[in-house]
Amino acid sequence: QVLLVQSGSELKRPGASVNVSCGASGYPFSNFVLNWVRQAPGQGLEWMGLVNPNTGNPFYAQDFTGRFVFSVDTSVGTAFLQISSLKAADTAVYYCARGSALDVWGQGTTVTVSS
């Protein structure tokens, strides 16, 4: 069974950093890119970009450059999203999803940024 399991909810102060993990199982980790998708409260889905587990190379969508970093640890089949200098506008559910057509999704990680 293909699964993506994400880390738990986070509450952070403005200006802090957060790390979200996405652990993959049930398939060869290096065979599929991993995407990150943001969903702000009551809003739609935004594609943030992806990381290629084979090369470690990330690609960031236009609105997600600078404070966002995608990485992978192939030894444990896990992808990571780091967001630095957090703002209230970063409050959202963050999802990881497999492959170019996002066929399998993690359960989501809620990041709340509040003073």
- Is there binding between residue 25 and another protein (CB under 8 A)? no
Backbone angles phi, psi at 48, to 5 degrees: -90, -30
Backbone angles phi, psi at 103, to 5 degrees: -80, -25
Selected range binding another protein among 17-25, 65-73, 74-82, 104-112, rule: CB under 8 A: 104-112
User: Count of residues binding another protein (CB under 8 A)?
Assistant: 18
- Is there binding between residue 27 and another protein (CB under 8 A)? no
Structure tokens at 14: 């403005």
Selected range binding another protein among 23-31, 64-72, 74-82, 105-113, rule: CB under 8 A: 105-113
Tell me, what DSSP letter sits at residue 84?
-
Subset of 30-89 contacting another protein (CB under 8 A):
35, 37, 44-47, 59, 61
In DSSP terms, which residues pair with 43 in a beta bridge?
A: none
Q: Contacting another protein (CB under 8 A), which of 1, 75, 100, 115? A: 100
Amino acid code (one letter) for 99? G
- Is there binding between residue 108 and another protein (CB under 8 A)? yes
Supply the minimum distance, in Å, between the C-beta of residue 87 and another protein.
22
- Report CA 47 to chain centroid distance, whole Å: 10
Structure tokens at 101: 């057509």
